[in-house]
Each structure stands twice: as structure tokens, then as C-alpha cells.
A and B are shown apart, each in its own frame.
With several copies, the nearest count.
Chain A
């Protein structure tokens, strides 16, 4: 149960931080329609986050709420992979970050539907519908930017260069994940990786982009060792709850 709690928090943190990052775009997108698309994905992820934190709070059984989980834990207690805390950068960076995430998230949720943990399976089922839109959206944009203008190609290649080192952490199993895999709570990441790699290869081909080879993969986020970005996210994110503790909003 402690393991499921840890894992659920890790998933929640992941959706939350990415949802937060995407929400930073609101009002600043390159075109209204895409501003709305970014907010939509952010909203879906925050929705998923809430279900997960609520479940985590129940598993913990100490009377904490979803907001306590989100607003009252510090940097090293957050367990999201490093990718999702990377800055928005330009639209190309945001698209590539989203594409790498979706290429994991979609296939992960698909497999998680079969978890022996029914609550996680149910959350996965609900989020999978949304994620299937996300992966379609981000894949299409990768293709557009890769096979668009010379500038867009250069920018998306720079984004690949910036973000690829963070694409491997999703599939590196923590001790918690290994234990849960043995107990059948979570799916086999190798299979997910195969689907994910195949999807990436297909989209990159259509985008006339190369999948980077032999890149050193960064990790640590799932164990609380983050990049310096997360601290700044949390100062902003948590400010009100920290400044005015224990109030209703």
C-alpha cells in the first residue's frame, strides 16, 4: 500500500507539473486556437492530477487533501520525471516536451487500464481518452514543424537536442516501480517502450526528423533529485497556500 501510494504520487506529480507548465502558456500562445489547445491539455492533466492526489490522500489515510499533496510538499518530495519540469521555451520546445510525454503517457495509460489496482485502472481509462487527443495533437505539430519551414525545422531540432536527454527516465524503473511490477500493479515498461519508440519513429519519419541515437539519459526526478527549475515552479505555485496557511479558498 505504501508502494501504491508512492507510485500514485509520482504519477500525480508528473501530470501536475506538466499541466502547470502548460498553463503558463495561457494568453501567450502563437495563435488563439493553439492557446486554447494548450489550455485544454493543461486542464485534462490537472483533472487527472486531482483524481490521483485524491486517491493518494485516501491511501495515506491521514486526512490530507488533494491540495495538501499539491501545495505543501517541497522540491525533493516531488517525484515527477525531469522532462515535465523543463521550461516551456519556445512553442517548439513545448511541442517536443509534450510529444515525448504523450508518447509515454498514452501507451502507459493503455497498459495501466489492466492494473490489478482498480482505482488506478479506472483513472487510466478515463485519462486515456484525453491522452489519445493529446498524442494526436502533439504528433501533428511535430510533423508540421519538422516538415514546415527551414526555421521551424531548425527550432524543432534544437528542441529535440534540449529535451532528448530527458526522454529515457520514464522507462527507468525505480525500486518502487520494480516492486509494483512484480505484484502486477503496474505494466511492463519494456513493452510500453516498444510501442512508444515505434510511435516516435513513425512520427519523426513523417516529420523528416532523425531520432537521436546514443544519447545519455538523465534521471533522478522520480527519486526527488530534480533540476533547478522545479524549485521555482513551486515557489510560484505554492505561494498563497504557504503565505496563508490552512485556509479555505
Chain B
């Protein structure tokens, strides 16, 4: 038995090393399964909670077109949540349990959604920066070792890059608009820049799980690598928009062919992770409320389905 396990583990490691996808029915180490469930469900929760800050502006979107685009975008996030919950279910997690863990605070979601959306420009900033950072994190996940997760990410990434373009377009419209609009854009940029950098997670030397995740090819780059890429990509875009990056330490470093940037406020990061962000409480309360108020609907749907099934089997019996 011991030997069989060892063999299976070797086969697993070998497959991963050769970039062969692990599928639901394949043997996998418990730790791998747990890590994936944690990561995928966290990702799914992020999509669902992430609906709230943007959803906050659907009723106030400034034009019919923007309203439709934003509503469709938030709806896409619900869809991403669904794909990802399904992917986690292939690992034996149940959606009810994952939901309960989100509501109890046991499961995390991306801290970025614990910041409030205070102006229309925030909708642009989220699309541009937050979706931009998400894509940077997620594109490598399209090649992640677990099959269902990788396939879900392919769909997610395709839609996310569409969303990011829409966010950039909102920012561009504001930056090319009236002075009040430009100011609105800069103010939103100031608030979202640093929290976005935090989306890549703690610094590499404080991220104990990174090494194992990389070995399993769940992750493909370290947090700091991705963060650096993101900064290098966004700074020119900000310049193009005419926005000032709110970082006085930002400067081009010819030697590393990238930007040096200031120190992220890790106190704030850990504090928000701990639950003390501006909206942690509100976000979870909103989700719990929606869930609890929906209980009777879910029960009714179930009860009706059962009644219907009974009637049909009764009918079938009669006919027999």
C-alpha cells in the first residue's frame, strides 16, 4: 500500500513535470487537492464578491451604453464564479460548503474588493487596473497543471481582457473629457493603484506557499515577478492617459529594464486581509443577506421539483 502510494506520487510528479494535465479522476496528493480547492474557491469567491463594488454603479451608470456594458460585465463575473465553483466541485468540494466558508470568513477572497467604489471613475479604474492585475495573475493559470481549472481560466481570461479594454476606454474618455472628469479619473487612480499592487500577494520572501505551488505548476511566476511586470506594463499606459502614478519613488531603471517603485504599505495589506478593510464587513453582510433572503426561493424550487418528479413517477406507474 505504502509502495503503491509512492508510485502514484511519482507518476503524478512526472506528469506535472511533463506538463501533462491532471484530470479529476487521476490520482493526486491530498495537499495538491487541498491547495487547489483553496485557490479555486478563493478565486470563485473573488468573482462573486467582486460583483458588489462594480454592481454599486449599475443603477448610476452615466449612459445607456455604459449601463449595459457594466451590467453585462458584472454578469460575466457571476458566470466566472460558476465555472470556478464547478472546477472546484470536480475536486470534491461542494458549492454549499464553499459558500458557507465564504460567509463564515473561513475562506478568503481577493482583498481588492474590500475597497469602496466612490465615483464613476472607479469603474474605469477597476476595469483597467484590477482586471489588468487579474489577467496578469490568471494568464499563467491557463497553463496550470489541473485540467478543469486551466480550461475554466481560458474562458475567464478571454472575457477579462475584454473587460480590461472597456475599463481602459472609460478612463480614456474621462481623461480626454472635461477637467472634472480628468480629476475624477486621477482621484480614482490614486485610490486604486496601491491596492492593485497588493493583489499579487505578499513579497516572495513572505509567501511560503509559492515554492510548492510552483513545483506543482499551479503557479508559474512568483508574486514579485508578476508585480514587476504589472508595473512595467501600466506605467506607460498611465502616461498615455496623462495620469500621474501616485508613487514618488517610481522611476525607470535602465539596468533592470524595468521600473523601480515604492514600498507597498504591507501593514495595510495584512490589515485588510485580517478583515479590517473599509468594506470587508459590508461585503460579507451583503452576500449573507442575499443568501439568507434567497433561502425560501431555493427551498421552493427544490420542493416543486420533487412534487413534479413524484407526479411523473405516479403517472408512469399508472401507465404501467
Contacts and interface: CB of A to CB of B under 8 A. Distances in A.
B181 A75 contact: no
A61 B53 CA distance: 38
A241 B62 contact: yes
Interface stretch (A40-48, A118-126, A176-184, A197-205): A40-48
Interface string B61-90: 111111110011011001101100000000
Contacts of B226: none
B309 interface: no
Given A147-B307, A240-B120, A46 B278 contact: no
Most buried by B among A36, A90, A162, A228: A228
B118 A39 contact: no
Category for how many chain A residues contact B? 35 or more
A216 B298 CA distance: 33
A182 B239 CA distance: 39
Interface string A12-35: 000000001001101111111111
Contacts, number: 173
B52 interface: yes
B155 interface: no
B118 A226 contact: yes
Interface residues of B, number: 61
A132 interface: no
Interface in B183-241: 187, 191
B48 interface: yes
Interface in B26-62: 48, 51-53, 55-56, 58-62
Contact of B178 (A29, A67, A152, A247): A247
Contact of B58 (A23, A33, A225): A23
Interface stretch (B104-112, B127-135, B289-297): B289-297
B62 A249 contact: yes
B286 interface: yes
A249 B298 contact: no
B117 interface: yes
A148 B118 contact: no
A218 to B, nearest CB: 6
Where chain A touches its partner, the secondary structure class is helix
Contacts of A225: 116, 118, 191, 278
A32 B79 CA distance: 8
A131 B191 CA distance: 36
Contact of A39 (B71, B173, B187): B71
Interface stretch (A3-11, A102-110, A186-194, A231-239): A231-239
Interface in B269-287: 271, 276, 278-279, 281-282, 286
A74 B121 CA distance: 13
B305 to A, nearest CB: 8
A140 B293 CA distance: 20
A94 to B, nearest CB: 10
Contacts of A230: 118
A143 interface: yes
B265 to A, nearest CB: 14
B300 A148 contact: yes
Contact of A228 (B181, B279, B291): B279
Interface string A71-109: 100111000000000000011100000000000000000
A23 B297 CA distance: 19
Interface of A: 20, 23-24, 26-36, 39-40, 42-43, 46-47, 49-50, 53, 66-67, 70-71, 74-76, 90-92, 143-145, 147-149, 151-152, 155, 162, 165, 216, 218, 220, 225-228, 230-231, 235-237, 239-241, 244, 247-249
Query: Ordered nearest first, which 5 A-B pairs have the shortest CB separation?
Result: A30-B294, A148-B300, A152-B300, A27-B55, A30-B297
7 contacts: A23-B58, A27-B74, A43-B75, A67-B63, A76-B187, A91-B294, A249-B62
Given A35-B78, A67-B63, 6 more contacts: A31-B297, A34-B297, A148-B301, A218-B278, A239-B60, A249-B177
